[in-house]
Amino acid sequence: MQLSDSIAEGQRIMTICNSCRYCEGYCAVFPAMEQRLEFSHADMNYLANLCHNCGECLYACQYAPPHEFAVNVPEVLAKIRVQSYGQYARPQALAKSFRRNGQVVLWILALSVVFSLIAAAANGRLVSDAGNTFYDVIPHGVMVAVFGAVSLLAVIALAAGFAAFWRESGLGAARLADLPSLRRAAWDAMTLRYLDQDGLGCTYPTGERSQSRRIYHHFTFYGFLLCFASTTVAAIYHFAGTTAPYPYLSLPVVLGTLGGLGLVIGPAGLYSVKRRRDPELGDPSQDGMDLVFLSMLFLSGFTGLLLLGLRETTAMSFLLVVHLATVLALFVSLPYGKFVHGIYRVAALIRYALEKEP
């Protein structure tokens, strides 16, 4: 379906929903919809990114297929949502990477492996002796320079995408300083409120209420944050004069271990839930992008845990190269893969909170 076709279909369905309003209590999409009589392209992008794809509205809808109106809100909003990712991507020259995300990430991963192998070989420690440290394999300066540059570029690209989304809202940058709205949006995002339904869970993946998707999302999200916190604390330790490797019960290792477990449990759980998903929920053409992202997160956590457990063996060099290459590929691809859905969903929740202000 072309972009204009998806938007037109979304506008048709929202017009029907706006007349019915049976689903207004299910999530934020429908109260936001009710504030509009017509739906612009920007409005559809907003509503699509506000949708959490819980499936509640599809199972409740009297006009869902096979009815002639064929109202399927989760499917059409999923199609608009992924197209909005490409629209907001910066630089725009890389927007097409969303449509061939799997191939792009695999190429990035391959190049990351090659780079890590070259860095290790140049340092003369491609094969390590037991007891060597990570920096014996790849110098600390190389790690900091490469990952610092990649992280900075990823943050800039994600911030530019957020700015593009917000600019389209027409609310102005000053509204982002509204603290009550920011707190409300942050709480909704951090707790995944719209996958909870007052403790009952959502109807994804099969129509039966369950908390599984919300729980696995929490494992994934907070696992990622814990890994980031581990890296940050390790950097502080290093500049304070305490160099790696750190003891198993040190703060960086404990945070990294918990984060790695989250990145193993969460993505594996989300994949298992996705495999049981009702085909009517969402857009099957995006499954490849989802799978690649979940795989990269899982591999980052798994290789990190494996590296931690075997860091004092001769396998350390090989595992370090694989782990660093996986993490590097993940960070390079962040602005052009499924990760961005979190950025735009938070932006949509902020806009929704602002709209709800009296």
Give CA–CA dist 355/358, Å, rounded. 8
Mean pLDDT per 10-residue segment, the chain (358 residues): 79 95 90 93 96 92 94 95 91 74 71 73 59 77 87 94 94 93 95 88 88 96 96 91 87 96 97 91 85 92 94 85 88 88 96 86
Residue 122's pLDDT is 64
Contact 44, 121 (CB under 8 A): no
SS (H, E, C) the chain: CCHHHHHHHHHHHHHHHHHHCCCCCCCCHHHHHCCCCCCCHHHHHHHHHHCCCCCHHHHHCCCCCCCCCCCCHHHHHHHHHHHHHHHHCCCHHHHHHHCCHHHHHHHHHHHHHHHHHHHHHHCCCCCCCCCCCHHHHCCHHHHHHHHHHHHHHHHHHHHHHHHHHHHHHCCCHHHHHCHHHHHHHHHHHHHCHHHCCCCCCECCCCCCCECHHHHHHHHHHHHHHHHHHHHHHHHHHHHCCCCCCCCCCCHHHHHHHHHHHHHHHHHHHHHHHHHCCCCCCCCHHHHHHHHHHHHHHHHHHHHHHHHHHCCCCCCHHHHHHHHHHHHHHHHHHHHHCCCHHHHHHHHHHHHHHHHHCC
Give CA–CA dist 129/312, Å, rounded. 9
Residue 341's pLDDT is 93
**pTM value?**
0.90
Kindly state the tokens that stand for 333: 């691809």
Residue 1's pLDDT is 47
Contact 283, 338 (CB under 8 A): no
Residue 104's pLDDT is 73
